Chains A and B, each alone.
Chain A
Amino acid sequence: MLNLFINSVFIENMVFAYFFGMCSYIAVSKSVKTALGLGAAVTFVEVMTVPLNYLLNQYVLAPNALAEGVDLSFLSFILFIAVIAAFVQLVEMIVEKFSPSLYNQLGIFLPLIAVNCAIMGGSLFMQQMVGTEINSVGDSIVYGLGSGIGWWLAIVMMAAIREKIEYSHVPAALKGPGIAFIITGLMGIAFMIFSGIQL
């Protein structure tokens, strides 16, 4: 389980290894504060939706799960995205009700989490890993937590670097997204040193 956690945070990092959630990663990594908030929200949604989708997969979608001889796995995309969208809507309503200040801080990012590829990607990878690395609800929670934290780590580091790079002389054409991509690539190369770690 620890191995699964380390693996999903560092080695198979959502951003550096799979490019998941790049859109919001590039758009929101301009200040550390908003990056922290968005990262926390993504991690929370990931921790909740991956186990939910795991249960859905085990008891409804997998071959012979619902009834003998019924294979509904072709429906997994539409059901996973429905669970994610419904959950994000729920989180939005709860946050708005109980913590209006946090709600205002996150603003538009909260509904956008529904279309963040890191969330959907987490569930789809979980579905592929059932039977090998992930064998219980506990495993799926650990995997959701790990991949969420990996994404959080990446966006906060990126935001910190971009705050500093404001003061450097970047070629005019590279400013903004161009340099952000190249920095992410270099960070990805740095993260490659973690590959092959086994605990």
Chain B
Amino acid sequence: MKLSKNFTSPLAANNPVIVQILGICSALAVTVKLEPALVMGLSVMFVTAFSNLLMSLLRNGLPSRIRIIVQLVVIATLVIVVDQFLRAYMYDVSKQLSVYVGLIITNCIVMGRVEAFALGNKPWDSFVDGLANGLGYAFILVLVAFFRELFGSGELFGFDVLARFGYVNNSLMLFPPMALIIIGCIIWVHRSINKDLQEK
């Protein structure tokens, strides 16, 4: 019961991106197309899940003074694994993601979940928590990328969708500022539904 609640709450009610405003740093630039957004989301999911798992396994033997540096080393190692994997098997996508894969290290979601959850919970719970938070992040990323690719280039995953109905591409959607405005609108909709999140 608790496990399923841990899993579902980061997806909507307590989403790391639109509620806690974490991890936007490296998020929005990869949302021009759906494919890199999806790959980025999966990479972050992998890193959050396994850094939570590893830190949770280490938590009892770890002096708290050196925990930040240990966290950074664990996270950086996982990110290097992801980066090397993408370069080996998905070279084109890894070129599009460029420096943003490296920036998963400084993604506040990863550090935040390790600090807030993994250091005080059992490994399996922490793994699920990391997975769910990564999934919540990936969901927002894919949502933003969906709107930007659909209206910016009239395609979804590279297939024509709107173009065949005579849609003229709005190339402003491909510029960085529109990602911010879209995420602002997502927050707007989300908070209109969840009234308890609204600020006084």
A44 at the interface (CB under 8 A from B): no
The listed residue (B84, B99, B102, B187) touching A181 by CB distance below 8 A is: B187
* Residue ID in chain A nearest B200 by CB atoms: A175
| Interchain CB contact under 8 A, B77 and A175 | no
| Interchain CB contact under 8 A, A77 and B191 | no
* Residue ID in chain B nearest A184 by CB atoms: B180
* Contact mask for chain B residues 16-38; partner A; CB cutoff 8 A; 1 contact, 0 none: 00100111111111000000000
Which residues of B have CB within 8 Å of A18? 29, 176
User: Which of B25, B105, B188 gathers the greatest number of chain A CB atoms within 10 Å?
Assistant: B25
A17 at the interface (CB under 8 A from B): yes
A48 at the interface (CB under 8 A from B): no
B93 at the interface (CB under 8 A from A): no
Complex formed: what's the CA distance from A76 to B34 in Å? 28
Complex formed: what's the CA distance from A154 to B24 in Å? 16
Interface 9-mer from B3-11, B66-74, B158-166: B66-74
Complex formed: what's the CA distance from A82 to B178 in Å? 34
In the complex, which residues 166-189 of chain A have their Cβ closer than 8 Å to any Cβ of chain B?
A: 171-182, 184-189
B91 at the interface (CB under 8 A from A): no
The listed residue (A21, A124, A181) touching B180 by CB distance below 8 A is: A181
In the complex, which residues 81-104 of chain B have their Cβ closer than 8 Å to any Cβ of chain A?
A: 83-84, 98-99, 102-103
| Interchain CB contact under 8 A, B103 and A185 | no
| Interchain CB contact under 8 A, A124 and B25 | no
| Interchain CB contact under 8 A, A173 and B24 | no
B181 at the interface (CB under 8 A from A): yes
B120 at the interface (CB under 8 A from A): no
Which residues of A have CB within 8 Å of B169? none
| Interchain CB contact under 8 A, B21 and A27 | yes
The listed residue (A16, A115, A173) touching B111 by CB distance below 8 A is: A115
User: Which of B83, B103, B180 gathers the greatest number of chain A CB atoms within 10 Å?
Assistant: B180
| Interchain CB contact under 8 A, A116 and B99 | no
From known contacts A23-B21, A77-B102, infer whether A181 and B76 are also in contact, taking CB-CB under 8 Å. no
Measured CB to CB, the closest approach of chain B to A167, in angstroms, equals 15
| Interchain CB contact under 8 A, A22 and B24 | yes
A65 at the interface (CB under 8 A from B): no
From known contacts A23-B25, A77-B105, infer whether A16 and B79 are also in contact, taking CB-CB under 8 Å. no
A20 at the interface (CB under 8 A from B): yes
| Interchain CB contact under 8 A, A21 and B99 | no
Which residues of A have CB within 8 Å of B177? 16, 184-189, 192
The listed residue (A121, A174, A182, A192) touching B99 by CB distance below 8 A is: A121
* Contact mask for chain B residues 97-133; partner A; CB cutoff 8 A; 1 contact, 0 none: 0110011011110010000000000000000000000
From known contacts A121-B103, A128-B98, infer whether A185 and B23 are also in contact, taking CB-CB under 8 Å. no
| Pairs across A and B, CB under 8 Å, 17 listed | A19-B24, A22-B25, A23-B21, A77-B79, A81-B105, A117-B107, A120-B106, A124-B102, A171-B188, A172-B191, A178-B187, A182-B180, A182-B181, A185-B177, A185-B178, A185-B179, A189-B175
- In addition to A26-B24, A81-B76, 13 A-B residue pairs with Cβ atoms within 8 Å of each other are A17-B176, A23-B22, A23-B23, A23-B25, A77-B79, A85-B72, A115-B106, A115-B108, A120-B105, A124-B102, A178-B185, A181-B181, A181-B187
Identify the 5 closest CB pairs spanning chains A and B, nearest first. A188-B177, A181-B184, A117-B25, A185-B180, A185-B181
